[in-house]
Each structure stands twice: as C-alpha cells, then as structure tokens.
Amino acid sequence: MPEFERFGPFEDAFLIEPRRFGDERGWFEEVWNAERFQSLTGINTDFVQDNASRSSAAGTVRGLHFQAPPRAQAKLVRCPRGAIYDVIVDIRHGSPTFGQWAGASLTEENGLQLWVPRGFAHGFATIEPESEIAYKVDNPYSAEHDGGIFWNDPAIGIRWPLDTENAVVSKKDRDAPKLAEMPKLFEYKS
C-alpha cells in the first residue's frame, strides 16, 4: 500500500499508512506531519482538538456521527490500541457518492489512519476488546451542531464485521435518524 491512497469511491477521503521505523527496541512512527499531508493530498488543515475514546467490549459500535455546518469537522482517526472497523458515509447532498460508504480495519499493528473530510458521517465497530481510538479534528466540539445517522441504516447497507443483533450501541446512536430522514445539512461543492 502506498503511504497515502484515496479511500473508497471518495475523491477527498484518504487511508494513510505512516512510515514505521523499527529495531530491537520496538518502533517509531510520525503520526502527523501537516506539510507532508498537504503536499500529498492538496488539503491544508489546522487541527484544534485531539479526542480519544476507549471501548471495553468487542462489538461496540460508535456512530455514525458528524458535526453540522458552520461547525463541521474533518477528522484524522487512528487506533493506537486494539482494532476497529472504521466507516465513513458521504452525506453531502448532490455528491455523486451521496449515501455510499467505505470501511477499513484500523489496528494497533497496521497503524493505518483515516482522513474523514467534512460532509461525511463517521463511525466504527470494535473488533477487539479494550480498543482505543484517537482522532484529531479541525473544529472544536459543539453540542449544538452534533448530529448522527442510524449506524445500521439498510439503505446505506454497511457490512459491519460483527453480529449486529448483539452490538453494544448507545441509545443516542440507536435512535439516530436514517439517512433519508436527515435534513440537507451538507451540500456538495465540486
């Protein structure tokens, strides 16, 4: 895999494999480099907040979340401990990929990161117990602009790597609207 590659059918989402340098002591990797990211993707971003979460049980689902304009967020997501299946869904009305999804396994071992652009809902399922997720965002959290869509909306058809009947899901995520019920918050700009 190249260090940066487009993710799924999306022109502005990227799967990133940081370079790891290892020896008998372990390894070192550069997790974020703004200059390199911009030179390889054309995206210039300033992160303003780092977040982390830990999920105790395998089969825990968090998402599908987004933050609406004018406080929309782009995210850089990684899994420094354990393993997750990370998913994004294009929720930009007018986009040629509206309602489409893509997913990838982010693990402690593979070190992969996912760049989630603004206008995408994001969620993940834990594959291993005690999984930790760390992500950078380019806009601070705003409860007023916090939103989500139903994590298992059949119209989207995400193929989660778990028994969806027994998934550990918060009430907020279980009660989130389906994509067809969501207001037009994001417009696609080509």
Is 97 contained in some domain? Answer: yes
Q: Give the pTM.
A: 0.93
On whether residue 24 sits in a domain, the answer given is no
Q: For the chain, what is the domain count?
A: 1
* Angular region, 42: left φ>0, alpha ψ -120 to 50, beta rest: left
pLDDT per position as a tens digit, 129-171: 999 999 999 999 999 999 999 999 999 999 999 999 999 999 9
Mean pLDDT to the nearest integer, 7-17 = 93
Task: Give domain status of residue 84, yes or no.
Answer: yes
The residue type of 19 is R
Task: At 147, list the tokens.
Answer: 């939103």
- Tens digits of per-residue pLDDT, 33-72? 888 888 888 888 999 999 999 999 999 999 999 999 999 9
Domain assignment present for residue 23? The answer is: no
53 has which bridge partners?
Answer: 133
- Say which of 122, 135, 141, 188 is annotated catalytic: 135
Position 183 in a domain = yes
CATH number at residue 65: 2.60.120.10
In a domain, 124, yes or no: yes
The answer to whether residue 135 is catalytic is: yes
Which tens digit of pLDDT belongs to each residue from 70-125? 999 999 999 999 999 999 999 999 999 999 999 999 999 999 999 999 999 999 99
What's the domain range around 105?
Answer: 4-18+30-187
Residue 188 pLDDT more than 80? yes
Q: Is the pLDDT of residue 2 over 70?
A: no
Catalytic residue among 65, 85, 93, 141, which?
65
144, two tokens: 């007023």
Residue 92 belongs to some domain of the structure? yes
Q: Is residue 77 part of a domain?
A: yes
